[in-house]
């Protein structure tokens, strides 16, 4: 791994304070990131960068949306495949899979449907029809 800015190959990992803005909401957290020993700029590290973005998504989902665990639990409760469940809430299977992996946040329109299903489970039958 080397620094994109100065080309230095010596890097170190330290805890970094993040201030993310996701869909207009501030998400603050710390996670380990890689830095350049020479110029102290952030150096790309696929694993650490991926962990940081998952952490941010998880925090956002916990606070403002819905966690992957809640979605999986709801889907399993109805014993539905990802394919069928995504059809019922109106998103693509790809979007659902990515959300269940914790890689993305579902669009607000789908979140409303999911919240509704959690609060009023019987509405699933109208959606299936």
Applying CB under 5 A, the residues found at the interface with Zn ion are 3, 5-6, 8, 36, 38-39
Across the chain, the runs of DSSP E, i.e. the strands, are 11-22, 25-36, 42-43
Closest CB 21 distance from Zn ion, rounded Å: 26
From the CB of 14, what's the least distance to Zn ion, in Å?
A: 14
Q: How far is the CB of 7 from Zn ion (least distance, A)?
A: 7
Residue 30 has φ and ψ, to the nearest 5°, of: -120, 145
> 60, 57, 61, 53: which is closest to 115 by C-alpha?
61
Q: Which is nearer to Zn ion, 6 or 13 (CB)?
A: 6
| 8 or 72: CB nearest Zn ion | 8
User: Distance (Å, rounded) from C-alpha 53 to C-alpha 64?
Assistant: 16
Q: Which is nearer to Zn ion, 33 or 75 (CB)?
A: 33
* Closer residue to Zn ion, CB minimum distance, 5 or 128: 5
Tell me whether residue 92 is exposed, middle or buried, using C-beta atoms within 10 angstroms of its C-beta: 0 to 12, 13 to 18, 19 or more. Answer: exposed
* Minimum CB distance to Zn ion, residue 10 (Å): 9
Alpha-carbon Rg for the chain, nearest whole angstrom, is 19
């Amino acid at each position: 791994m080397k620094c994109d800015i100065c080309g230095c190959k010596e890097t170190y990992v330290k805890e970094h304070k993040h201030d993310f803005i996701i869909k207009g909401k501030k998400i603050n957290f710390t996670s380990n990131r890689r830095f350049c020993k020479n110029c102290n700029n952030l150096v790309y590290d696929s694993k650490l960068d991926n962990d940081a973005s998952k952490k941010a998504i998880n925090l956002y989902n916990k606070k403002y949306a819905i966690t992957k665990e809640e979605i999986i639990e709801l889907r399993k409760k109805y014993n539905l495949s990802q394919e069928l469940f995504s059809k019922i809430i109106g998103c693509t299977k790809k979007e659902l899979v990515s959300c269940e992996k914790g890689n993305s946040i579902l669009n607000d329109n789908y979140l409303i449907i999911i919240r509704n299903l959690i609060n009023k489970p019987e509405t699933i039958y109208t959606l299936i029809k």
